[in-house]
């Protein structure tokens, strides 16, 4: 049908309005319908292109909003990571203090146990020396020397330290009254220190429990500090992963925003092409059609006879091309057969 209408352009639009046959007017109307349809299609292409541009802009705005949100989220993750690092540092410091506290408690316990052991050893030594004084034997030089060392350790009176070698070297039966008094004083001093040591050892049981409790508490604090440090370490690691993931997501979103630029440029170019095509079609093809559709006969100048019949207005080839969408098959053949007025049925069949 379009090919037939193209062939009818010259014999319909090429005739002025007063000279057109009714069938030619029908052809003109059909050509107009086809051209209006083409214009509508081009307008639809413009609208589709405009919609494509708006979709890309909307996509870019959405991505930009996501980038802004993601930037705020990354800052929050970074702050959280900083807090986790600080918490890990504090947990490490607490662990260091707990280790020092445990060492101190263990050291006190060890020193206390060693002190009590020394007291117990000295108490036993004093008991033996006391028994030695109470025997009926004279003491040899090494035993006397041992008494002197113990006396110095226990801070005996200087007079007692000086008398020790004299009365201990004698058997009890050979001792004079002064020697007997000195020996009795020595036994009394030894008994006093033995009793003090026994009391210290008795109190040491309570001290041992206190030291053990301190060590146990320090160990519990240490275990808690270790667990807290491990928890802080894990939290720091999770925060670091979240921050890295957030940065990667932000970079991906920024890349998507950047990718919208060529996409938008392409869509805008497509819109520009569609708009130019529609404008060119409207200004050239449709305008030419409308001028030819309403063309009036041109009269001769006054006083001049018409030399020849006025020729039909020239038709822009774009009109025919837009109607036919393909070139005429054979330019030498008539564009359209003549329309005989006596055969309307044949014309109707041809138009159909």
At 110-121, the pLDDT tens digits run: 998 998 898 888
Per-residue pLDDT, 41: 94
Question: Does pTM top 0.75 for this prediction?
Answer: no
Here the tokens at position 270 are 């497509």
Query: Which residues of the chain have a pLDDT value below 70?
Result: 1-8, 136, 298-352
User: How far is residue 326 from each of residues 39, 267, 287, 317, 318, measured CA to CA in Å?
Assistant: 17, 29, 21, 12, 11
Nearest-angstrom CA–CA distance, 295 and 289: 10
Burial letters for 74-90: b for 16+ Cβ neighbours within 10 Å, e otherwise? beebeebbeebeebbee
Nearest-angstrom CA–CA distance, 60 and 339: 59
Contact 144, 169 (CB under 8 A): yes
Per-residue pLDDT, 302: 43
Please identify which residue in the block is written with the tokens 């036993």.
124
Nearest-angstrom CA–CA distance, 131 and 116: 22
Per-residue pLDDT, 202: 86
Per-residue pLDDT, 228: 95
Q: What is the pLDDT of residues 121-153, one digit of tens each?
A: 888 888 888 888 777 678 888 888 888 888 888
């Amino acid at each position: 049908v379009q090919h037939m209408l193209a062939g009818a352009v010259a014999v319909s639009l090429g005739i002025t309005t007063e000279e057109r046959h009714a069938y030619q007017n029908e052809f003109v109307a059909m050509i107009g319908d086809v051209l209006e349809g083409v214009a509508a299609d081009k307008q639809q292409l413009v609208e589709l292109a405009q919609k494509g541009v708006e979709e890309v802009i909307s996509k870019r705005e959405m991505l930009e909003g996501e980038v802004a949100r993601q930037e705020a989220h990354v800052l929050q993750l970074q702050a959280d990571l900083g807090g986790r690092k600080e918490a890990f540092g504090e947990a490490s410091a607490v662990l260091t203090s707990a280790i020092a506290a445990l060492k101190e408690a263990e050291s006190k316990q060890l020193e206390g146990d060693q002190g009590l052991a020394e007291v117990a050893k000295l108490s036993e030594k004093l008991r033996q020396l006391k028994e030695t004084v109470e025997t009926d034997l004279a003491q040899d030089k090494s035993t006397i020397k041992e008494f002197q060392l113990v006396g110095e350790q226990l801070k005996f009176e200087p007079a007692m330290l000086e008398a020790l070698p004299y009365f201990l070297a004698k058997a009890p039966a050979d001792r004079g009254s002064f020697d007997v008094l000195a020996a009795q004083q020595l036994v009394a001093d030894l008994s006093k220190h033995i009793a003090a040591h026994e009391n210290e050892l008795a109190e040491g049981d309570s001290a041992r429990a206190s030291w053990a409790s301190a060590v146990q508490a320090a160990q519990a604090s240490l275990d808690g500090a270790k667990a807290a440090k491990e928890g802080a370490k894990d939290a720091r690691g999770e925060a670091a992963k979240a921050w890295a993931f957030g940065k990667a997501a932000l970079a991906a979103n920024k890349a998507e925003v950047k990718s919208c630029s060529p996409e938008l440029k392409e869509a805008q170019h497509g819109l520009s092409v569609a708009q130019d095509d529609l404008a060119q079609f409207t200004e050239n093809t449709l305008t030419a059609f409308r001028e030819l559709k309403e063309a009036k006969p041109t009269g001769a100048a006054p006083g001049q006879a018409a030399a020849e019949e006025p020729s039909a207005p020239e038709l822009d080839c774009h009109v025919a091309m837009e109607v036919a969408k393909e070139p005429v098959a054979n330019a030498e053949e008539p564009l359209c057969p003549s329309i005989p007025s006596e055969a309307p049925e044949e014309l109707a069949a041809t138009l159909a």
